[in-house]
């Protein structure tokens, strides 16, 4: 079964807000020695679903567990014959993290889990990934989710999509300057040097002048190099 189809099956499962972040023990799964640690991490994430350190620690727990124990009662555990054991374990780990992120994304303030869902679905469902990154950005008034969403799209080579997400949601005075930095670089990567200059000018209006001053030299250099590569003609 293709990964995207499995992920869609996970998405269609009903989700109750009352069970967000609660560990669900399979009756047939072996008892683990790390359940106290897992429950502690889940308790942290129930209070703050955007705690990156706790999420990554819990993701490592569920990845390791999924790779070791696929679970015979898991309807998504079946895999094609042409997959290697390593591929099956890696896919099981990704599905486990997907399930975890999906649970925590049910929290009305949860934007970090949506970033993880976007990252995991990017290759198979880019449009769905952008929607999840957009929702994450809308849930975070400080702009960190938007900055990280732009970074995810830029890393995937989706520079135009990054520009669309950033331009539609960037509030210069409210958001971290990192949003502006990613927008300038995304515009350069999309061969829109004039637009990059426009975003840099907008970033100059950010109230944190010191942060902007630290970012500006590298961004100015990147724009100048892009202009030189185009023969001095901005576009």
Q: How far apart are the first and last CA of the chain?
A: 45
Give 136-146 pLDDT, tens digit per residue: 999 999 999 99
Q: What local confidence, expressed as pLDDT, does residue 85 receive?
A: 73
Look at 59-63, 90-94, 103-107 and tell me which has the smallest mean pLDDT. Answer: 90-94
| CA neighbor of 175 nearest in space, from 143, 209, 131, 145 | 143
Give the list of residues 6+ apart from residue 193 with CB closer than 8 angstroms, or none: 187, 223, 226, 227, 230, 234, 235
Who has greater pLDDT, 160 or 72? 160
pLDDT(165) > 80: yes
* Mean of per-residue pLDDT scores for the chain: 84
The C-alpha atoms of residue 49 and residue 105 are separated, in whole angstroms, by: 8
Over residues 55-64, the mean pLDDT reads 92
Q: Domains, the chain, ranges and CATH?
A: 1-16+33-132 (no CATH), 140-235 (1.25.40)
Over residues 193-214, the mean pLDDT reads 97
Who has greater pLDDT, 155 or 29? 155
Instruction: Identify the band that residue 231 occupies on the pLDDT scale cut at 50, 70 and 90.
Output: confident
């Amino acid at each position: 079964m293709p990964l995207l189809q499995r992920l869609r099956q996970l998405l269609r499962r009903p989700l109750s807000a009352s069970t967000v972040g609660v560990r669900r023990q399979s009756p047939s799964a072996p008892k683990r020695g790390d359940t106290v640690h897992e429950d502690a991490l889940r308790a942290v994430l129930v209070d703050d679903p955007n705690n990156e350190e706790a999420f990554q620690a819990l993701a490592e727990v569920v990845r390791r567990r999924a790779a070791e124990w696929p679970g015979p009662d898991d309807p998504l555990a079946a895999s094609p014959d042409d997959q290697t054991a390593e591929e099956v374990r890696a896919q099981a780990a990704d599905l486990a993290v997907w399930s975890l992120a999906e649970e925590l994304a049910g929290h009305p303030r949860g934007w970090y889990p949506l970033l993880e869902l976007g990252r995991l679905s990017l290759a198979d469902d880019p449009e769905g990934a952008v929607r999840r990154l957009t929702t994450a950005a809308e849930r975070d008034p400080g702009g960190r989710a938007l900055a990280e969403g732009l970074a995810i799209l830029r890393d995937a080579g989706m520079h135009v999509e990054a520009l669309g997400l950033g331009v539609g949601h960037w509030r210069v005075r409210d958001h971290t300057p990192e949003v502006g930095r990613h927008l300038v670089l995304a515009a350069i990567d999309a061969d829109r040097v004039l637009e990059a200059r426009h975003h840099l000018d907008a970033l100059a209006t950010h109230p944190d002048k010191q942060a902007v001053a630290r970012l500006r030299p590298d961004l100015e250099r990147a724009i100048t190099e892009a202009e030189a590569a185009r023969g001095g003609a901005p576009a």
